Amino acid sequence: MDSSSDKPSSLINSVSSEELQKHPDSQSRPPWSILAGGWLLQFAGLGHCNSFGVYEDFYKEVYLSNSSSSDISWIGSVQIALLFGIGLLSGVLSDRGHFRTLMWSSAVLYIVTNFTLSLTTVNQYYAVLLSQGFGIGTALGLAWVPTFGTIGRLFPHHRDLAIGIAGSGASFGGIVQPILLNYLFQKSTLGFQNSVRVSAGINALLTLLGTIWITRNAVSPQNPIKGKLNILSFFKEGPYVLLNLGFFCSEFGFLFPLIYLQLFARTRGIALGETFFTLSVWNGATAAGRVAILCLPARIHPITIISGACLGLSVCLFAYIPVRTFLDVMVVTSLGGIFYGAYCPHAVSASASQARNMEELGARIGIGTFIVAIATLCAPPILGALLADGFRWDTPIILAASTVLIGSTFFASAAILLRRQKLAHLIHMNTNS
């Protein structure tokens, strides 16, 4: 892979026109069924992960009542950490031409481990951790980065829009699946095992359909990487380092609403029936944020957008401290979800924008998701330990909000450095002309 360039890689907001000429697949009209397939996979996969707050609440009160909130949160943190962490490996393998193998391996493993969860019994903590945490997390990790890497490769001129459309499946899944799971767990007479089978069956159908659509028309890189990829060279770029520091800090705080929101609402004295909708409201607002942010001018760099989104979200997280009523929860959750929705698609685009060519696109995104994985593995147990058995929410909320605010600062610093490097490059070009 030729990594040489007459421009600093941090100045390139999209793959150069020369690179597009090398990839005829990116010049032709890309099949929109790939976006539909990606949307379904996000609905069934990450949308299910975004519903873990329902499991956290049910496990704590009923199914794993002998375990602490911190122990239970390990299930969700391992699941999300593997989803993002395996992205470094799967991204590189996808760049090397193994996209279809990764996608079908992910689909089969996801379906099997989803149904395996229904075979566990009450207070079998490690069985639940193995199937839901390690199994589902590994399955989703095999497909997450390849999905967005392929979409970014096929839609180079409308990358943010395409990634935003496909990624919105996670938000819509996060609206529907918490309502479904709460109904199955709390109001139906099916019991936990049969409820899981219903959920697993629906997600299996969507996963198979999505995998068929996205693999049928996907195009592998024109020149798959054959040699060794020098990933360490990426970290010689100041903006890229700051970007990934921002990913770590911000993701640490994001996990609070994703894991603890429903439990938070219930322990604040809000009626059980009303708490069922907290995660759905969060994910619905996230979907609205994804759509609204696409209205911004294309000239605004994605790193600038995610910096502003994290600043707004940190304010919303601090606002959870005085919350006491259902209306308060809904208002803060709606605003926070909008900012989170603005962040999600542009976080992927921010990593992709630093790629020097299409062959390293998956690796760039994969490194970012690996950094995120470290944060997701650490955050829920730490927040749960600070919460303790007395449900003292102020300390974990302050920590979560502060880390998101720090992440916003790192993103802003990366954006400023990019702007300075671009200005220096223009001055250099004018001097030589």
Distance CA 32, CA 36 (A): 7
Judge whether residue 222 has pLDDT over 70.
Answer: no
Distance CA 258, CA 198 (A): 23
- Tens digit of each residue's pLDDT (9 = 90 or more) over 301-312: 888 899 999 999
Domains of the chain: residue spans and CATH:
32-223+231-432 (1.20.1250.20)
Mean pLDDT over the full length of the chain = 82
User: Confidence class of residue 87 from pLDDT cuts 50, 70 and 90?
Assistant: confident
User: Comparing 2-6, 110-114, 284-288, 333-337, which segment has the lowest mean pLDDT?
Assistant: 2-6
Q: Can you give the pLDDT at residue 27?
A: 42
Judge whether residue 297 has pLDDT over 80.
Answer: no
Q: Can you give the pLDDT at residue 410?
A: 95
**Helix residue ranges, H only, 268-353:** 272-275, 278-293, 302-318, 326-352
Judge whether residue 364 has pLDDT over 80.
Answer: no
Mutual angle of helices 69-85 and 136-154, in 10-degree steps: 40
Query: Which residues neighbour 148 within 8 Å (Cβ) at sequence distance 6 or greater?
Result: 38, 163, 166, 167, 348, 352, 365
Query: Which of 73-77, 80-84, 201-205 is modeled with the greatest confidence?
Result: 201-205
Q: Can you give the pLDDT at residue 218?
A: 67
Q: What is the DSSP letter of 230?
A: -
Average pLDDT over residues 15-33: 49
Q: Can you give the pLDDT at residue 295?
A: 74
- Tens digit of each residue's pLDDT (9 = 90 or more) over 252-269: 998 888 888 888 888 887
**Helix residue ranges, H only, 30-128:** 33-44, 46-49, 52-58, 69-85, 87-95, 99-116, 125-128
Of the candidates 353, 379, 155, the residue with the CA atom closest to the CA atom of residue 260? 379
- Tens digit of each residue's pLDDT (9 = 90 or more) over 379-411: 888 888 888 767 788 899 999 999 999 999 999
